[in-house]
Chain A
Amino acid sequence: MSDLLPIEIDENSRVPIYDQIESQVKTLIISGILPAGNPLPSIRKLATSLSCSVITTRRAYQNLEHQGYINTLQGKGTYVAEINMNKQHEQKEKAVIDALSRAANLGKSYQYSDEELVQLFSTILKEGK
């Protein structure tokens, strides 16, 4: 098993690091990149690979476990949990809504109007094509 996860910490972001880890792991699980049963690195290995503390990685794993995305078996390690296929759709939608709300809040904190934000969003969508 690799000790790495394909996630990246943005140190300039105001989003706490545990939150960044949590949402990126969630995305990996929901999109199926990390399938059910897949082992995850220990909190210590993940902390070393991301250069953060185990306090941070433990908190991210606890939140993921609490929401049913992962399971920790005492002495055996942490694994991706089975997520309900019907729920998977809901969770995808929720993940997108969360990401968009964060973007909207950031925009509002910089005094962008709703119209300006909608316009920016459609520009981004067009450019992405």
Chain B
Amino acid sequence: MVDEDRRLIAHLLRRAGFGAGPSAIDAAAAVGYRATVDDLLDTERHERPHEDLLERFHSEHCDEESPRWVALKWVYRMINSDRPLEEKTALMWHGVFATGWAKVTNGQMMAEQYEMLRDFGLGDYRVLLKKLSRNPAMIYWLDQQMNHADAVNENYGRELLELFSMGRGNYTEEDVRSCARAFSGWTMTHVLPRYPTGYWPAEFVYRGDDHDDGEKSFLGETGNFNGDDVIDIIVRQPATGRFVAREIYQFFVADEIDDDAVEQIADSYFASGYEMREILRFVFNSDFFKAALFKRVKSPIEFIVGTVRLTGQHRNAHQFGLDRLAKLSGMMGQELLNPPTVEGWHTGREWIDSAFLVERLNFATEKLSDADAPGIIEIARRISDGRSSITRDGLLDLCTGEFVHLDLDVATRRVIADELSSPEIIQCGGDELVAALTEILALIGTSKEYQLA
């Protein structure tokens, strides 16, 4: 029987982070659920990982021009950061404010955007939108540099309302035009051309002489609005509260929307003054969150990082192969820093198709059957502690309950049990246990339940 507290904490660490091995769950269980929530949210208490070793020992990828390097660094941070919620929230916003390298084609600008989402993603949503509107990657992605006082380009203004804040049906075409006019003159410096020295970053520039300072009517208000004024109006809209609440619900709670829970989150949005940290504190302590175990399909990067955190790999910066993890995420349908469109990725069951599933299963099998992985060695040690032997069924229960924290349904459990080739009674403390353990874990990794968070 799984300890309910550990089970709930494992759920919290999967959602607010990228999953955890048994030692981390022990530590969280020792302080309790609510204190763990507070600790996850109090990011400033923890240092970010040092990355000088990463740059040194991955210099074959350390090309600032390349999005692969940015993605590699992000994957390393997801695996190793003591501020997992910061990375997780950045991942959520990356899906919402989806900006793709395919058009931006500048690794440094993409890195700046992702780090901005990480740095401000847990703060005031209003500030986040203002930062986003000044972000060179976003400016280029949605053609803001072509939005002039005398030639309005509506691209950013429209997407800000439709995809980044309120959602379709909550504004008029005139609002879109006013929004775009308010952002005219919000542009970026010219970057040095790519050749012959590679890409260079850009900076936000406000050109007053190219800004339409005339009167605008926007969402029922009238004034000589600029971009910041427009954002101040947007964040006050009920539709914005519901939009943010839906995004949070689908990313942190469940794939299937629960309208009542969304309303509660929207209330928290306004009550907190748009503070993401407080909204998430409400969500993680809510009953609907605690009841939502395994209600989400893991996104590819969640699947990969969660598995690697379980196996304890890539904890030191010089382990080879980090680049492959980022690449595999792309092969499973989620290429970091390069979402398919400005709408971001389609999530939930759409993460799973026959090609993506094969990649997932192969990856999980490879990682979870690695007898040399530190996390596997730790699990074997914990099983051997105080035991001289264990039954095969007992080992399967222990793995699903104590270490992977899954609810296997009866049919899945039977299929796994039928596949096992290890002896009925397994001797602990040696190769026999490790062989049986890796066989079980690899099969668990291929189960449908393991695809869920």
- Asked if A and B are interacting partners, one says no
